[in-house]
Amino acid sequence: MANFFRVDTTKLVRGAARFMYAAISQAKPAKISDVIILTAGGTQYNPQAGWSDFGATREGIQITVNNTESAFDVDQVAGDIGTAPDTWECFVATQLAERSLENLVIAWEGATITTDVVPTPFERETGFAGATSYTQRRLAVLFQKASVDGGVTPGLITGYFFHIAVRAPQEGTLDFRKAGDAQTVAVRFKALADTTETDPLKAFFRVREQI
C-alpha cells in the first residue's frame, strides 16, 4: 500500500550553527569557500583571511525575517481585496558564550582594544559608553548537516551571508555568581538592505547550500 504522506528527511534541519563576522571592508562572500577553507587538510574549515568566529553560543542562533503590509479595500466588497508588503526587516540573534573582549566590543559597541605591556602580565583594555553610531559588519551563519556515511564524506554545508549588519537594541548582562551556567552575552544584529545588489530580493542576505 502506498504511503499517503510525502516526507523528505534530507530536508529536515536540526543542530548547532557557526556564527562568523568580518569587517565591512571585506569583500562580500559569493560562495561558502569565501568564508571558510573547504579543501581537505589541516586547515579545513578554518576561517578565510578577514573572517573570525564568535565562538560558542547558547540558546541557538535565530535568523528572523518580518514585514509590515498595507491592505486594499473598496466600499463594494466586505473584505480586503488585496495586500502588499511595505517594510521588510531582518535580524540575527544569539547568546555569545565566549566572554572575550572582542565579543563584548561587538555586542556593546566598545572602544578599540589596546594592550599595555607594563606591568607583567600584560593587560588589555577596552571601554564602553554611549556610542553615537553603529559599526557595519559582514555576518555569516554556517550549518553543516551530519555525514551520511559515518564521516567518510563531510556533511553538506549551508551558508547564510548577511551583506551589511549593525547592532540592534539588545540589553546585555554579565552575571557573576558561584553556581549555574557560565556567562553569556546577548547580541542582536539588524541586516540593512544592500543597494548595490542587482537583485533586490537578495539585498539583506543570500543563502548558499552544497548539494
Cβ pair 134, 108 in contact under 8 A: no
- pLDDT for 151: 79
C-alpha 188/C-alpha 171 separation (Å) is 9
* Predicted pLDDT of residue 171: 95
| DSSP state, residue 33 | G
**93 pLDDT higher than 90:** yes
pLDDT in tens, 131-164: 999 999 999 999 999 988 887 889 999 999 999 9
Is the pLDDT score of 1 beyond 90? no
Three-state secondary-structure class, residue 167 = strand
The DSSP bridge pattern shows strands 51-53 and 82-96 to be: unpaired
| pLDDT interval class at 118 (50, 70, 90) | confident
Judged by DSSP in three states, 177 sits in coil
